[in-house]
Amino acid sequence: MEGLRNDGRRWNELRRIHCQLSTSGSSADGSAYVEQGFTKVLCTVTGPAEPGSRQRGRSDGATVVCEVYFAAFSGTDRIKRGRNDKKVQELQTAVQKTFASVILTHLLARSEIAISLHVLSQDGGTLAACINATTLALIDAGIPMADYVCACTAGQPAIGLGGGSGGGDDDEPDPYLDVNYLEESDIPSLTVATVGGGEKVAVVSMESRVRIERLEAMLAVGISGCARVREIMDKEVRRYGKEKLDGTGE
Amino acid sequence: MPPPTPLSPPELSYLFTSLALEPPIRPDLRAPFQFRPIVAECSFLPHCNGSSRICMAESGECIVGIKAEVEKDTASKYATVIERDKWIEVSVEVAGGGASGPGSGVGVGGISGAGGASGKDEGDGGAAVWLKEGLLAGGAGILDRLVISKGWHWKLYIDVLLLTPTSHPSPLLLSAATNMALDSTFLPKLVSPHDVDDIPAFSDDWNISVPLYEPSTFPRPPMSLPVIAVGDNVFLDPSVAEVAAAEVGLVVTLTLADSEGHCDIVGVRGMEVGRGGGKEGERKGISRKLLRQMVSACVKEAGDVIKGLGESTRQQMFRA
């Protein structure tokens, strides 16, 4: 198995990404379902709507609130995560902050946009899948945004894959793109999200130690992954839009 | 508390009158025993032994994941009997449409004896209670299937995730999702002998795993159907507005008894309904005849629906 990772991918290959828009029917303003490998996330967006409480409204823009639920059956073992769980709150804040800055909130003054994310299955890259699902759900809800926010993960293995897997000019191993759960728990990894699939980074999050020289390479691989994720998401949005337009024409 | 509706008293009264007509007119022009379309998927969660997702236009979405864990039989200190009903744990989590949505989860389903409490876990009463009740009720025989070997059993965790815009989703949504998840549940195959009380060993090969409910054996997992009556008319699968206008409501739990689509009744519970078009405190109660009509309507008409759901489950199961 020269040159392959534990799930049979090469260092620069993404897992299968499957996305779907408008999954929840009429019960939410926008909804989306994203699968990245075995990580599966469902997102629903309500709004822009009148804020639930007066204090939450801002006169100069929309407020973005986010709730993340981990289904008890999402991991290998059954774990119930409460609303005050640290991991849940961290994820909530990350998604909320990202989208508060990307949504053109000044166009929607005194309103509230509520994002709720359901993690149905975890297999590495939960934050990335949450961000991608939220982007699609917001598009489905028709909320004005600067551009797609696409997220991807990258990890730095200690030992290279061997087998002449590209870029072998020095002895540093290539970073892994889109790490799965096994890789995530084994090697240092980071999540990066870009706006519009270009070089504009909106989120970087890393919770492990890594040598400073390797950070640049990991970021570069992550960003290139984001661009690929954007293509896949854009394709689905266009396909969905075309299908809807064709449907109304009849 | 009756389910909240967006309808005003005159609108309710109009709806009541049109439902009480002979023949009745339902707001969505359905026939009295006609069901609404649902989207149903199963076996899509890799970390679960069984999973399903049901989507209904009005009541939203319901995702069920079933996980099984190996557990040792334990008798409590004072009871010598093994408490087998603890082998199944049902929990219902309600996540409203966003942070400000009605996610409070109060009285899920509005079923009598289960309302009022938050309905999250069995201890609180609520939806989890009647879902489990239907499972354990006679005929379903699920507990016998959970025995692994001498001294060991499977503990089944049934987690229901409700994504719904209303706090009173149709009981059909919850029970159909649970039914489908149970129907598609597979357990690893035991490779150690049955009669030894050592730690059991299982095969890693999912291709020889054992279904919890062997296909084409009966009874099948139970399913609960809401039914309401207005005047002398009986309606299956009522919408939120219809429930608000109804005079009486029942939730009938059934299991499929044979391949022809005949059903056995496993349980009947009252369902909270609205004011029935009349004023507060004017409810008259219903006759025995109507009650029987309601239950028999479920038994007669629902067989095909349950059978259809079972067939669609079989097509989607990971080992079809």
Q: Can you tell me the ipTM of this complex?
A: 0.83
Burial-class residue A212 by CB neighbours within 10 Å (0-12, 13-18, 19+). Answer: exposed
d(CA B117, CA B122): 10
8 A C-beta contact, residue B43 and residue B51: yes
What 3-state DSSP class applies to B194? coil
Which of B309, B51, B91, B64 shows the shortest CA–CA distance to B163?
Answer: B64
Largest CA distance in chain A: 61
> By the 8 A CB rule, do B65 and B51 touch?
yes
DSSP A135-184: HHHHHHHT--BSS-EEEEEEE--SS---S--S-TTSSSPPPEES--HHHH
Q: Do A73 and B65 touch (CB under 8 A)?
A: yes
> Do A71 and B63 lie within an 8 Å CB cutoff?
yes
Enter the tokens of residue B80.
């010598």
With 50 as the cut, is the pLDDT of residue B29 above it? yes
Angle B154-B207-A73 from CA coordinates, rounded to 5°: 45
Half-sphere exposure of B15 (CA within 13 A, CB side): 27
CA distance A166 to A75: 34
In Å, how far from its chain's centre is CA B99?
A: 26
Residues in chain A: 250
Radius of gyration of chain A (CA): 19
Q: State both tokens at A241.
A: 């839009």
**Can you list the residues of chain A whose pLDDT is less than 50?**
165-168
Which residue, among B61, B160, B167, would best test binding to A if mutated, counting the most A CBs under 10 Å from its CB?
Answer: B61
Amino acid at the residue A76: T
Q: Which CATH number fits domain A17-162+170-249: 3.40.640.10, 3.40.390.10, 3.30.230.70, 1.20.1330.10?
A: 3.30.230.70
Q: What is the pLDDT of residues B30-69, one digit of tens each?
A: 999 998 888 898 988 888 999 999 988 777 788 999 999 9
- For residue A163, the model assigns a pLDDT of 54
DSSP output for B119-153: -SBGGG-SHHHHHHHHHHSTT--HHHHTEEETTEE
Say which DSSP state A58 is in: B
User: Under an 8 A CB cutoff, do B55 and A45 touch?
Assistant: no
Residues of A with CB under 8 A from a CB of B: 23-28, 38, 40, 42, 44-47, 49, 51-53, 65-67, 69, 71-76, 78, 80, 112, 114-116, 118, 120-123
Res B25: pLDDT: 92
CB within 8 Å: B99 and A23: no
Helical pair A126-141 and A86-102, crossing angle rounded to 10 deg: 40
Helical (H) or strand (E) element with B286: none
* Interface touch A71/B66, C-beta < 8 Å: no
Q: How far is B47 from chain A (nearest CA, A)?
A: 6
Model confidence at B276: pLDDT above 70: no
Look-up of token digits 């408490």: B83
Query: Mean of the pLDDT values across residues B142-148?
Result: 82
Cβ contact, residue pair B98, A44, below 8 Å? yes
Of residues B196 and B96, more confidence is placed in B196
Pairing outcome for strands A63-70 and A112-121? parallel
**Separation between Cα atoms, residue B108 and residue B141, nearest integer Å:** 26
3-state secondary structure (DSSP) of residue A82? coil
Give the pLDDT confidence of A106-135 residue by residue, as tens digits. Answer: 998 889 999 999 999 999 899 999 999 999
Does residue A247 or residue B110 have the better pLDDT?
A: A247
Given an 8 Å threshold on Cβ–Cβ distance, is B157 in contact with A78?
A: yes
Record: contact A65-B61, CB cut-off 8 A: no
Whole-angstrom distance, CA of residue B18 vs CA of residue A158: 73
Say if residues A125 and A183 touch (Cβ distance below 8 Å).
no
Q: What's the confidence (pLDDT) of residue B68?
A: 92
Closest chain A residue by Cα to residue B46: A38
pLDDT at B108: 45
Mean pLDDT of chain B: 78
Partner residue opposite B46 with nearest CB, options A45, A80, A121: A121
The whole-number pLDDT of residue B275 equals 63
pLDDT band at B96 (very low <50, low <70, confident <90, very high): low
Q: What is the least distance, in Å, from the CA of B98 to any CA of chain A? A: 5
With CA atoms as reference, report the closest residue to A56 among A138, A116, A111, A129: A111
pLDDT(B139) > 80: no
* Residue in chain B nearest A73 by alpha carbon: B65
pLDDT at position A64, please? 92
Question: Per CB distance under 8 Å, which residues of B are interface residues toward A?
Answer: 39, 44-48, 51, 55-61, 63, 65-67, 69, 91, 93, 95-101, 157, 159, 161, 163-165
Q: Which amino acid is at B276?
A: G
User: Which residue in B45, B46, B98 is closest to A114 by CB distance?
Assistant: B98
Percentage of chain B beyond pLDDT 90 is 11
Q: Which residues contact B8 (CB under 8 A, 6 or more apart)?
A: none
At residue B278, the pLDDT reads 56
Q: Is A73 within 8 Å of B55 when comparing Cβ atoms?
A: no
The alpha-carbon gap from B191 to the nearest alpha carbon of chain A, in Å, equals: 22
Nearest CA in chain B to A70: B161
Interior CA angle at B160 toward B153 and B263, to 5°? 75
Given this model, what pLDDT does residue B279 score?
57
For residues A176 and A187, is the Cβ–Cβ distance under 8 A? yes
Nearest-angstrom CA–CA distance, B194 and B202: 12
The pLDDT, as a whole number, for residue A249 is 55
Tell me the C-alpha distance between B265 and A217, whole Å. Answer: 64
Buried b (16+ CB within 10 A) or exposed e, B198-210: eebeeeeeeeebe
Which of B163, B170, B184, B239 would you mutate first to test chain A, the one with the most A CBs within 10 A? B163
> Mean of the pLDDT values across residues B235-256?
86
Give me the domains of chain B, ranges plus CATH numbers.
Answer: 10-316 (3.30.230.70)
Contact A116 B61 (CB under 8 A): no
Element spanning A18, H or E: strand A17-21
Max mean pLDDT range (A80-84, B136-140, B158-162, B214-218): B158-162
Contact A52 B161 (CB under 8 A): no
B309-320 mean pLDDT: 80
Which of A42, A70, A38, A94 lies closest to A206 in space, CA to CA?
A94
Coil, helix or strand at residue A204: strand
Mutate to test the interface with A, among B47, B51, B53, B160 (most CBs of A within 10 A): B47
Interface contact flag, A74 B47, Cβ < 8 Å: yes
CA–CA distance from A185 to each of A81, A82, A157, A189, A208 (Å)? 19, 23, 11, 9, 10
Cβ atoms < 10 Å from Cβ of A21 = 21
Judged by CB atoms closer than 8 Å, whether chains meet at A73 and B45 is answered as yes
Confidence of residue B224 (pLDDT cuts 50, 70, 90): confident
Of A37, A25, A99, the closest CA to residue A68 belongs to A99
pTM of the model as a whole: 0.86
Position B105 pLDDT exceeds 50: no
Rounded percentage of chain B residues whose pLDDT exceeds 70: 80
pLDDT at B13 over 90: no
User: Cα(A100)–Cα(A233) distance, rounded to whole angstroms?
Assistant: 20
Distance separating alpha carbons of residues B228 and B245, to the nearest angstrom: 9
- A chain contacts of residue B100, beta-carbon cutoff 8 Å: 46, 49, 51-53, 65, 112, 114
Q: Do A38 and B47 touch (CB under 8 A)?
A: yes
pLDDT over threshold 80, residue B264: yes
**How much is the pLDDT for B168?**
64
